[in-house]
């Protein structure tokens, strides 16, 4: 497995894990209690009278909103599995992946409901950025490989 495939698989797995991380925090009132929090409460806060926290996994259900949320976090795994061996399919699907990267960033913004971003949103944004950067590195190499292959087939009289 080449390095870009490893990066893409790792990014897809991290994005899948990011679905359980808090995306944003909304404050309900101007003054709030400063009660001490445990490490678990700091990493995975729960909504209370002062704040509400948004998690992507809470939006996953059988409505269109839930289905789009699930797809926004799982599409890289599906694309990685489908396109691992098919060079020709990758040529056509890679531009679609770019659009899905942008759509996932937009959907994370929608899921945050205008609150203050927390680390779940930043993890998702970083993963999508790495996926986009991997595409930018990989696409020229793929195009050069395809060009060499086509030229080789033409030289052999097989095209």
Average pLDDT, the chain: 78
**How far is the C-alpha of 69 from the C-alpha of 127, rounded, in Å?**
16
Read off the pTM: 0.70
**E-strand stretches of 6-145:** 22-27, 51-55, 116-117
Position 11 scores a pLDDT of: 82
CB within 8 Å of 142: residues ≥ 6 apart: 87, 90, 91, 94
Q: Tens of pLDDT along 35-53?
A: 667 677 667 777 777 778 8
* DSSP 8-state code for residue 117: E
Model pLDDT for residues 104-115, shown as the tens digit of each residue: 888 888 988 888
Cβ atoms within 10 Å, residue 59: 20
């Amino acid at each position: 497995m080449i390095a870009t495939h490893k990066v893409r698989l790792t990014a897809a797995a991290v994005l899948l894990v990011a679905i359980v991380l808090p995306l944003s925090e909304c404050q309900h009132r101007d003054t709030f209690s400063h009660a001490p929090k445990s490490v678990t409460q700091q990493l995975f806060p729960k909504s209370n009278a002062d704040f509400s926290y948004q998690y992507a996994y809470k939006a996953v259900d059988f409505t269109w909103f839930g289905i789009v949320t699930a797809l926004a976090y799982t599409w890289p795994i599906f694309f990685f599995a489908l396109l691992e061996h098919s060079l020709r399919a990758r040529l056509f699907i890679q531009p679609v992946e770019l659009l899905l990267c942008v759509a996932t960033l937009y959907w994370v913004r929608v899921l945050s409901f205008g609150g203050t971003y927390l680390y779940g949103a930043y993890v998702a944004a970083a993963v999508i950025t790495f996926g986009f950067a991997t595409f930018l590195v990989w696409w020229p190499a793929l195009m050069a490989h395809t060009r060499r292959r086509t030229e080789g087939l033409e030289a052999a009289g097989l095209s």
